[in-house]
Structure 1
Amino acid sequence: MTTITTRTVEYPADGLTMIGHLALPVGDDRRPAVLLGPEGTGLSDVERRRADALAELGYVALAFDLHGGRYLDDPEEMLARCMPMLADPDRMRDIGHAALDVLLTEPRADPDRIAAVGYGTGGAIGLELGRDGVDLRAIATVNGLITGRPGEAARIRCPVWAGVGSEDPIMAPAQRDAFTVEMQAAGVDWRLMVYGGALHAFHHPSVDHTVRPGVGHHPRHAQRAWRDVVALLAECLPVTD
């Protein structure tokens, strides 16, 4: 039985050597491609498995890195690195473009059929690529409903899907409202899915709400959010044999 292939890719970004995970579907033809961004803690096996799952569906997928190969499981260390990043759209764009360049150098990735899917900080980076005018076919962000600089959302040229837990204290109702107002004012084709009872990072099975208040895994909604992301890709970036 022929299976997907994976490999580690190193590339420079944000003054670090990033270590991404590239997953390729069966075959040797060009396929639509997905840039996959991790939560603020950084690239983990969760995102690597999601990239592999996308490759099994026929996509070229690159799960990109945020912290030079490190996973920041100390909340204080993670916040100290991510909060300045999230406050600096140009820095986020640079990190996103560096990963996108890696994806575009893969011969099997169709440069005209690219989507960005991200979680938390990775989702915010995907949105910033859209606000920077990158030609994406779709953007999906879970827990990364970060508003951008005034007027720049008008550069987004693709549908945007956003998912958030109803009990997420980080992506609170005011933050959700600001995001939807921004998208609507910019004329973006947007959707917001609120998953009832879910906390922040509800999609990430390794989180522990006893250690990080407001953070916790919700298995049913994690599966639903993944199905919603796959449905968005099927709509906007279909795989054709």
Structure 2
Amino acid sequence: MRYRLLGALMAASALAQAEIQTQEIPYTAADGTKLVGYYAYDDAIEGKRPGVVVVHEWWGLNDYAKSRARDLAGLGYSALAIDMYGEGKNTEHPKDAMSFMQAAMADADAAKARFNAGVDLLKQQEQTEAAKLAAIGYCMGGKVVLDMARQGVPLEGVVSFHGALATQTRAAPGSVKARVLVEHGSADSMVSADDVAELNAEMVRAGADYQFVNLPGAKHGFTNPGADRFQEKGVDVAYNKEADERSWKDMQRFLDEAFAQ
């Protein structure tokens, strides 16, 4: 009895000491671009677990993108916030953000290569179950993960939060292999009603396993608690606590279902 009690106390102590582990990991895209990933996992969990890639907003790989990797780690995933700009570059200036985004997205093949480099890095982590991968993205990152789904990148699922929906390359019938969840704010001035309608029609034509959630009153950037400060810089974004929490719960259900297959 005494030994069982001692074992239980030791296990409880180990659990109490467990925490989310994080590290920055340098990696390189196929074109030679030097990138920096931010990796997070819960060391209280033994063995491998599904992996989730996080793609940042147009601001770049900042603290917010990293916080979402930690949040995912807290849910039990192996999570990597990837770098689409190079060298972990980020900014709080809208003009710089626009410039960075345009440069990163100008070449669709290069953007895909940078995304895939991040996926490969996540697969290499010993905590990752490489056969079970998904991706989530915010703002520009939402467009990135949607584009990866459109191009048939082999993922279990992708989730776009207040992402750009327009594209110049529509998904062909049967091309979308990943499940798709789009969390969109009904008051998002950066996405037109036509963009929404065209995405819905595109996903239906493609035969995708697709869900679209319209969050009442939510503006662009609704998941980011720091979004409101950018209003002074002329960016029509705002945090919406209700939409943030609802969309995160939607994502959890979605990933549970996607990884259960």
2:59 aligns to what SS in structure 1?
coil
Give the residue type in structure 1 aligned to 2:182. A
Deviations 1:164-222, CA, capped at 9 Å, x for gaps: 11111111211111111111110001111111111111111112323233211112211
Residue number in structure 2 paired with 1:229: 251
| Structure 1 residue 150, shift from structure 2 partner | 3.4
Residue number in structure 2 paired with 1:173: 193
TM-score normalised to the size of structure 1? Answer: 0.91
* Residues 175-194 of structure 1 mapped to structure 2, 5 A cutoff: 175-194=195-214
1:154 aligns to what SS in structure 2?
coil
Structure 2: which 5+ runs fail to align?
Answer: 1-15
Does residue 204 (structure 1) correspond to residue 224 (structure 2)? The answer is: yes
Does residue 16 (structure 1) correspond to residue 33 (structure 2)? The answer is: yes
Higher relative contact order structure (alpha carbons within 8 Å, sequence separation ≥ 6) = 1
Residue number in structure 1 paired with 2:8: none
Residue number in structure 2 paired with 1:93: 112
- CA–CA distance in 2 between the matches of 1:238 and 1:65? 28
CA contact (8 A) 2:84 2:115 kept: no
Give the residue type in structure 1 aligned to 2:128. A
| Structure 1 residue 77, shift from structure 2 partner | 1.2
Residue-pair matches, total: 239
Question: For structure 1, which segment, 183-192 or 230-239, has the greater mean C-alpha deviation from structure 2 after superposition?
Answer: 230-239
Residue number in structure 2 paired with 1:62: 80
More helix by share: 2
- CA–CA distance in 2 between the matches of 1:152 and 1:10? 35
Structure 1 residues 126, 150: closer, same or farther in 2, change over 3 A? Answer: closer
| Structure 1 residue 15, shift from structure 2 partner | 5.1
Residue number in structure 1 paired with 2:124: 105
CA RMSD of aligned residues (A): 2.0
CA contact (8 A) 1:113 1:137 kept: yes
* Residues 151-170 of structure 1 mapped to structure 2, 5 A cutoff: 151-152=171-172, 154-170=174-190
- CA–CA distance in 1 between the matches of 2:173 and 2:65? 26
- CA–CA distance in 2 between the matches of 1:216 and 1:16? 33
Give the residue type in structure 2 aligned to 1:61. A
Residue number in structure 2 paired with 1:76: 95
- CA–CA distance in 1 between the matches of 2:92 and 2:153? 31
Give the residue type in structure 1 aligned to 2:34. T
Question: For structure 1, which segment, 115-124 or 202-211, has the greater mean C-alpha deviation from structure 2 after superposition?
Answer: 202-211
Question: For structure 1, which segment, 180-189 or 141-150, has the greater mean C-alpha deviation from structure 2 after superposition?
Answer: 141-150
> Which structure's CA Rg is the greater one?
2
Residue number in structure 1 paired with 2:158: 139
CA contact (8 A) 1:151 1:186 kept: yes
Deviations 1:93-142, CA, capped at 9 Å, x for gaps: 11211111111111221111001111112122222222332221111001
Structure 1: which 5+ runs fail to align?
Answer: none
| Structure 1 residue 84, shift from structure 2 partner | 4.5
Identity over the aligned pairs, expressed in percent?
A: 28
- CA–CA distance in 2 between the matches of 1:153 and 1:45? 38
- CA–CA distance in 1 between the matches of 2:120 and 2:252? 23
- CA–CA distance in 2 between the matches of 1:174 and 1:88? 24
Residue number in structure 1 paired with 2:48: 30
Deviations 1:55-110, CA, capped at 9 Å, x for gaps: 12111000112222121211111112213544542232112111111111112211
- CA–CA distance in 2 between the matches of 1:132 and 1:50? 25
CA contact (8 A) 2:150 2:170 kept: no
Structure 1 residues 9, 150: closer, same or farther in 2, change over 3 A? Answer: same
TM-score normalised to the size of structure 2? Answer: 0.84
CA contact (8 A) 1:147 1:182 kept: no
Structure 1 residues 180, 11: closer, same or farther in 2, change over 3 A? Answer: same
